[in-house]
Structures are given as structure tokens and as C-alpha cells.
Amino acid sequence: MEKRTLGKTGLKVSVIGFGGIPIQKLPMRETRKLIKEAIDRGINFFDTAQGYGDSETKIGEGTKEKRDKCIIATKSPCRTEKEVLSHVNKALKRLKTDYIDLYQIHHVSKPFELKKVLSPRGALEGLLKLKKAGKIRHIGVTGHNPSVLQEAIEKSEEFETVQFPFNIVEDEEDKFSLLRIAKKFNVGTIIMKPLAGGVIPEPSLSLRWILQQGVDTVIPGMVLLSEVRENAKIGEKVYPLSFEELSHLKNSVSKLETQFCRRCMYCMPCPEGIPIYLIQELGDKVRVNVEQVKKMCKETYAKLKKNVEDCIDCGECEKKCPYNLPVRKMLREKHKLLTSAP
């Protein structure tokens, strides 16, 4: 497996990492096998989060026998120093480890959130204290708004990594700008949603396309041993797409591009409090032909306080969408997918 240096962290990470969202619905026995297979095939970067159900616990269980060979990254939506202390201590217990290689401030996508994180007694201040104490080794930031993430790494040299969605569909110029700025400041780049939630029909070509953009690691979610093997193979010898392969990849997503939520969240907030972005993402994921993923998405949707049925058809979301997407129509379609019988 090819390794790249994760920016100024100095960590040597596998170019194909392990995204920890979907394993929350796997039995522990299957998860252990999955993680063992990943480690055996050279994957050493494992990404999880406080908000991914029991993912931290499963990552901890799966990596504990080979902790020295694994780089564990987790995160939480901490915004204050007080939250940081609580979140990190709980994560250490769930991960069954004395230290966390990379702790990321999760989902910083609005300017006011970044301001809170950077303020006195904010999350960053708390993480710096924990870093000094040896409980975490490196600090990162994640989000879906490239301009806010760019501001974060420009304002604070303490951010050593940045994690954001990027793929052949979500390939806007602001993503490339963020990559350039990250390289300028030697900030490691971690790519989530590399397969757009699993809906890109050519996963191998998509992963290779992302890696040829100079990112450090890509973290697809995996629930099948076959997925681990196929994705790991891509990382053994990374080479750019040919002209024919790139044309084929672009053609395969051409229909998807016209009705795909880019997760920029400019449509938010909804006047009725409907979590538009989350519903779009759950709906995209439920299309994936993996029963565990479908079940997880439907269960998450069922627990929402507000859903598409609360829409009053005001159209505010469509007025704000920079991609001129038929947001209301898309939400109705996602609602059907998320409420349909198995």
C-alpha cells in the first residue's frame, strides 16, 4: 500500500483509508474481520467519530491488537473547551487506547461555528491542552464548506489536517482552491465521501481520480470484505486515469450531476427546520445495494424531529441553491426511498 505524508503531522498514512460510518450496523464479529482484512492489506488510517453510533467502539476493538500499526482519527462537534475535555476522554475509553493520533473538530461549516472554535475557551484551546498532555497527538478540522475550512487553516497554524467531501461530482473550484491552500500551509488532506455516498457507479476510477489530485488519503466506507480488497488494491499502485478512463467516468456520472446535492448547505436553514442536507445524503446512501447501509439510513430518517412531510413548499431552498437544483422534488423522492418497505 502506498503511503503519503499527512501534511505537517508527519504521519505516513495509507492512500486508501477506512471510513468508519457504515460499520455501526455490522455485528462486532464481522467488523473485526473487516478491520483485520484492511490492516493485512496495508490500510493503516482509520476514521471514525463520536456521532457514528458504536463505530468508535468497533474501531477500538478491531485495532487494539495492532494499535502500533494503526493511525486512528476521530472527531466530535465540539465547540468549547469544556465539550472537548468530555468528548476526548469518552473517545479514549471507546477506542481502548491511551492516545488518539488525530482528533478533528467535526462539521465546522458556518463562519459563526469557526469563530466559536477559535475563541478563548473554544474547542481549539481545549485540544491544544490535551495535545500537551499526550492524550491526542494532532489536531484537524472537518466540514462541507470549503471557504470556511480555508479560513480555518489560514487563521490557525494549529490545524494540521483538513477533511472534506471531494469526488468527480463534487469537484467545484472551491475544492481545488482548498487543496492548493492546504498544500501551501502543509496541512494534510483527508477526503471523505469519495464515492458520493456510494452512488458513483465506477468506484475504482473515482478513487484513482481523487488520488491523482494530490490528496493524502481517501476514506471510503466499507462493509464487505470484497470492498476492502478492491479498494486496497487501488492503493498498491496509484496511477492516473487514461483519457479513455476519464471520459468513461465522466459519462457514468453525467445524469447524476443534474440532481445531486453538493452538501454546500447554502439552502439552510429551512424555515420549517427540515434538515435538507442530511435528508439528501441519507437518500443518496439508501440507493446503495448494501442492506446494512439502507437500514441505517432509514432508521436515522425515522428518528428526525422534522422530515419532508413538514415541508410547506415555500421554495426558499431552491432560491438559495447555487446549482439550481429542484430541491423540493429531490426531497420528495428521497422521502419515498427512506420510507419504503424493505
Whether 188 maps to a domain, the answer reads yes
Q: What is the pLDDT of residue 260?
A: 84
Whether 112 maps to a domain, the answer reads yes
* Angle, CA 86 vertex, CA 83 and CA 87 arms, to 5°: 80
Separation between Cα atoms, residue 17 and residue 3, nearest integer Å:
10
Separation between Cα atoms, residue 161 and residue 170, nearest integer Å:
20
Q: Is 70 exceeded by the pLDDT of residue 256?
A: yes
Q: Is 90 exceeded by the pLDDT of residue 322?
A: no
Same domain? For 192 and 308 the reply is no
Whether 260 maps to a domain, the answer reads no
Tell me how far the alpha carbon of residue 289 is from its chain's centroid: 20
Same domain? For 213 and 315 the reply is no
Q: Give yes or no for a contact between 170 and 262, defined as CB atoms under 8 angstroms apart.
A: yes
pTM (2 d.p.): 0.88
Residue 150: pLDDT band with limits 50, 70, 90: very high
Same domain? For 91 and 13 the reply is yes
pLDDT in tens, 169-210: 999 999 999 999 999 999 999 999 999 878 888 999 999 999
Q: Give yes or no for a contact between 307 and 274, defined as CB atoms under 8 angstroms apart.
A: yes
Order of strands across the sheet with 45-47?
18-19, 45-47, 71-76, 102-105, 139-142, 161-165, 188-192, 217-218
Q: Give yes or no for a contact between 231 and 188, defined as CB atoms under 8 angstroms apart.
A: no
Whether 59 maps to a domain, the answer reads yes
Same domain? For 97 and 216 the reply is yes
Whether 13 maps to a domain, the answer reads yes
Q: Is 80 exceeded by the pLDDT of residue 289?
A: no
Residue 254: pLDDT band with limits 50, 70, 90: confident
Domain holding 100, by residue range, is 3-247
Whether 262 maps to a domain, the answer reads no
Please enumerate in sequence order all residues whose Cβ is within 8 A of that of 104, keeping only pairs 6 or more positions apart, or say none: 73, 74, 75, 139, 140, 141, 142, 161, 163
Calculate mean pLDDT across residues 305-321.
95
Please enumerate in sequence order all residues whose Cβ is within 8 A of that of 133, keeping only pairs 6 or more positions apart, or say none: none
Whether 51 maps to a domain, the answer reads yes
* Angle, CA 218 vertex, CA 216 and CA 222 arms, to 5°: 155
Residue ending a domain, among 196, 227, 247, is 247
Number of domains in the chain: 2
Q: Give yes or no for a contact between 6 and 216, defined as CB atoms under 8 angstroms apart.
A: yes
Please enumerate in sequence order all residues whose Cβ is within 8 A of that of 303, keeping only pairs 6 or more positions apart, or say none: none
Same domain? For 102 and 211 the reply is yes
Calculate mean pLDDT across residues 99-105.
98
Same domain? For 87 and 194 the reply is yes
Helices 327-339 and 276-285: angle between axes, nearest 10 degrees? 50
Same domain? For 90 and 215 the reply is yes
Residue ending a domain, among 231, 247, 263, is 247
Same domain? For 88 and 169 the reply is yes
User: Which of 176, 137, 146 lies closest to 11, judged by CA?
Assistant: 137
Same domain? For 307 and 189 the reply is no
Whether 254 maps to a domain, the answer reads no
Q: What is the CATH number of the domain that holds 159?
A: 3.20.20.100
Same domain? For 185 and 324 the reply is no
Same domain? For 25 and 164 the reply is yes
Same domain? For 137 and 234 the reply is yes
